[in-house]
């Protein structure tokens, strides 16, 4: 079997399609709390008192639709990002083990590999989402197309569009190791009790657990990523140096608590958003399996 046949199995297209549906469900349901999370991480010190204050001020000053700022970026790239994620995970499972049933360690390894691959598309999508969410309803706010043109024109591809790539990689690897491990662990426990045909609520509960594990695994690196991608200018150096420098800046500004800004809305968001992600993915994949037979 050549490498192309190994990667592109008959079910790969189903994974791609189901992944895009799962990602779209995640964005639509989770975007308001994601906006609150991002603003908690990037707002100037003293601008907000906490997550609830962010919610109240955002709705009062900018309207309810402001909670969906930056949604165009993940929705535009959602088919690619989530299709890549779920397909990479399926391929990674086959690389880690030829057997369909994996141990939790093997699931974590496959999730980490999928997260690394996912960073290629997730990094620019996250960057433009964060830069849209970092606008607070002033007359100088820019549309997504303008933000993209400015970043490309001023800084180019590497330092503009792909800014924060390595910190995104550093986030995605542990995040998706936790994401899939949490999901599969709870799903396996439900299967022991209910058998292979799980009720809908158990799939949603498994997805929610995966989402909680995602955020617990990627903090505080997610705070560092948001700050790097929102900064006016790109990091002066690459690799781990700029991450360490940003880490120290957060400590200086806000102490240890600053490293966990936005965690509470992230955890709250993950319950419905991750449930919707896995629910939409599993249902779409099952429908395609029955329709196509692969």
Q: How far is CA 29 from CA 73, 201, 278, in A?
A: 15, 17, 13
- Structure tokens, 128: 């433009």
Q: Which domains, ranges and CATH numbers included, belong to the chain?
A: 3-292 (1.50.40.10)
Q: How far is CA 75 from CA 29, 224, 293, in A?
A: 12, 23, 29
DSSP code of residue 44: P
Confidence band of 132 (pLDDT split at 50, 70, 90): confident
- Cβ atoms of residues 61 and 136 within 8 Å: yes
- Cβ atoms of residues 129 and 144 within 8 Å: no
DSSP code of residue 98: S
Average pLDDT along the chain: 86
Nearest Cα residue to 261 out of 231, 220, 211: 220
Whole-angstrom Cα distance, residue 76 to residue 122?
12
- Cβ atoms of residues 71 and 31 within 8 Å: yes
Residue indicated by tokens 């600053």: 258
pLDDT tens digit string along 119-131? 998 999 889 889 9
The predicted pLDDT at position 73 comes to: 59
Lowest mean pLDDT among 63-77, 144-158, 274-288: 63-77
The predicted pLDDT at position 1 comes to: 45
- Structure tokens, 186: 């709870």
- Cβ atoms of residues 110 and 102 within 8 Å: yes
Whole-angstrom Cα distance, residue 210 to residue 259?
22
- Cβ atoms of residues 39 and 117 within 8 Å: no
pLDDT tens digit string along 27-37? 788 888 888 88
Cβ contacts of residue 268 below 8 Å, gap of 6+?
A: 33
- Cβ atoms of residues 160 and 89 within 8 Å: no
The predicted pLDDT at position 120 comes to: 92
pLDDT tens digit string along 97-120? 888 889 999 999 999 999 999 999
pLDDT tens digit string along 190-245? 999 888 888 889 989 999 999 999 999 999 999 999 999 998 888 876 666 788 88
CA quadruple 235, 138, 133, 120: dihedral, nearest 10: -50
**pLDDT surpassing 90 at residue 260:** yes
Phi, psi angles (nearest 5°) of residue 262: 85, 0
Whole-angstrom Cα distance, residue 167 to residue 171?
6
Confidence band of 288 (pLDDT split at 50, 70, 90): confident
**pLDDT surpassing 80 at residue 6:** no
pLDDT tens digit string along 36-62? 888 888 888 888 888 889 999 989 988
């Amino acid at each position: 079997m050549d490498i192309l046949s190994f990667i592109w199995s008959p079910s790969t297209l189903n994974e791609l399609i189901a992944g895009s549906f799962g990602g779209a469900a995640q964005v639509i349901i989770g975007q308001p709390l994601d906006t609150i999370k991002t603003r908690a991480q990037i707002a100037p010190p003293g601008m907000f008192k906490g997550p609830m204050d962010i919610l109240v001020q955002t709705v009062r000053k900018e309207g309810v639709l402001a909670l969906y700022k930056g949604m165009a970026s993940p929705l535009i790239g959602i088919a690619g990002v989530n299709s890549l994620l779920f397909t990479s995970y399926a391929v990674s499972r086959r690389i880690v083990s030829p057997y369909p049933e994996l141990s939790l360690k093997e699931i974590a390894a496959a999730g980490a590999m999928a997260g690394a691959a996912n960073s290629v598309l997730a990094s620019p999508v996250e960057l433009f989402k964060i830069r849209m969410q970092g606008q607070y309803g002033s007359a100088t706010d820019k549309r997504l197309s303008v933000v993209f043109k400015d970043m490309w024109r001023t800084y180019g591809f590497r330092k503009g569009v792909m800014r924060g790539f390595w910190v995104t990689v550093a986030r995605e690897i542990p995040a998706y190791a936790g994401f899939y491990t949490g999901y599969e662990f709870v799903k396996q426990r439900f299967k022991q009790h209910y058998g292979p045909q799980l009720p809908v609520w158990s799939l949603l509960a498994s997805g929610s657990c995966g989402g909680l594990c995602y955020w617990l695994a990627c903090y505080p690196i997610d705070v560092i990523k948001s700050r790097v991608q929102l900064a006016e200018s790109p990091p002066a150096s690459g690799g781990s140096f700029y991450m360490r420098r940003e880490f120290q800046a957060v400590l200086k500004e806000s102490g240890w608590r600053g490293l966990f800004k936005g965690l509470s809305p992230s955890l709250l968001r993950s319950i419905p958003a991750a449930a919707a992600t896995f629910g939409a993915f599993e249902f779409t994949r099952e429908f395609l399996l029955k329709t196509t037979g692969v």
